[in-house]
Amino acid sequence: MSVNILAIGDVFGENGLEFLSKKLRAFKKLKNIAFTVVNGENASVVGLTPAQADAIFDAGADVITLGNHTFSRQNIIPYLDDNRYILRPDNLSPLSSGTGHRVYDAPFGEVLVINLIGRVGMDLQSDNPFFRADKLIKENPARVVLVDFHAEATSEKAAMAWYLDGRASAVWGTHTHVQTSDATVLPNGTGFITDLGMTGPALSILGVKPEQSISRFLGEPRRQQYMPAPGSCKMEGAIFEIDEKTGRCLSVEAIRITE
């Protein structure tokens, strides 16, 4: 027997959140999804609020993962301590609120979900994510292990997947908002995709109004708060088919839902 686990890429802005709310539950039913992890760190474009986290859960997420913008909205800090179904990167400072891993009860048994952040191109003084992954998997035995690796460098994401091959059921990358075409099962049974993509404005630059992003590259000295691009949206992610008995991944399918 196998189960389908769905991972959804970074939710961007209120229009991305609205699109998730319209599409996720019907898609889960269509694909017989048993467990869903959604990265929500850009629901406020930069960070997310408790109300937005609640909306992501209402949309159908079982667990929310975060990233480098975890603490951009200060009112999320108590929420991280109060709600066990939201995770921030585990290798941030131990003084940080919340946690970056938990074992959850799912219809198919226990599942360990780990949220980590990369160090290449990230100025967060985080601990080594590879050593942290070793520690968490050793101390939290579960047949199914899922890892959201929020990282900038594609090489660092791929290295994590190969490093955990045979120890994690699935490793997926988030943060760069561009879905990659390399969804695969590694030799020892770990499903992997370098980046899930994003859930938000389709005609945009990583979710942002194109003219705002372009102005930054042209050297515009005035810094404006990024705004989500208007128009149609998309929901991107991947489905991992996992063997219930072994925890190994049998197949990976990248998905994109549009309006």
Q: Which residues are catalytic?
A: 69
Task: For tokens 């909205």, name the residue.
Answer: 73
| Among candidate residues 65, 16, 76, 75, the one with its CA nearest the CA of residue 40 | 65
Q: Note whether 232 and 259 are within 8 A (CB).
A: yes
Q: How many CB atoms lie within 10 A of CB 210?
A: 13
Residue 76 DSSP one-character state? G
222 Cβ contact list (under 8 Å, min separation 6): none
| Strands 198-201 vs 249-258: parallel, antiparallel or unpaired | unpaired
Q: Nearest-5° angle of CA 124, CA 129, CA 135?
A: 135
DSSP state, 74? G
HEC assignment per residue over 122-141: CCCCCCCHHHHHHHHHHHCC
